[in-house]
Amino acid sequence: MRLLLDTHALLWAMQNKSQLSRKARTAIESPANEIFVSVVSIWEIATKVRIRKLDRPGNLLEDPRRTLVDMGFRDLQVKLSHASLGGSLVNPHKDPFDRLLAAQALLENLTLVSIDTEFDSFPVPRLW
């Protein structure tokens, strides 16, 4: 399975937090699955650290690629098609980070790993 971690799922996976559901943790830890982290999540984390809504998560912001590789995750860049779809999705959900993640999941055939039921209003598969 090809999975895209929502920002909170990434942070909880990094911190080995019990907030991850059993199903999500099992999927993330399975070597059979390909785990992607969007650059959008790194941007969201950096923004929240800057405005002091989030503590700095280890070395993620200093060396995101190395941190992700060390965890066995792959980075997912933003393409023009992602931005176009994310901005044009007809959906009441207004969070631009979430809209872009939904677009990436749709266009790249990824299952989104997220506790956020708001994603269920997008035509994207969600695992939790």
pLDDT digits (tens, 9 = 90+) for 43-73: 999 999 999 999 999 999 999 999 999 999 9
Please report which confidence band the pLDDT of residue 90 belongs to, taking 50, 70 and 90 as the band edges. confident
Closest CA to 27 of 56, 6, 58: 6
pLDDT at 92 over 80: no
| pLDDT of res. 91 | 77
17 — pLDDT class (breaks 50, 70, 90) = confident
Return the CATH number at 88.
Answer: 3.40.50.1010
Q: How many domains does the chain have?
A: 1
Least Cα distance to 37 among 61, 21, 53, 16 occurs for 61
Sign of CA dihedral 114, 115, 121, 123: positive
The residue range of the domain holding 28 is: 2-127
Confirm if 68 and 74 have CB atoms less than 8 A apart.
yes
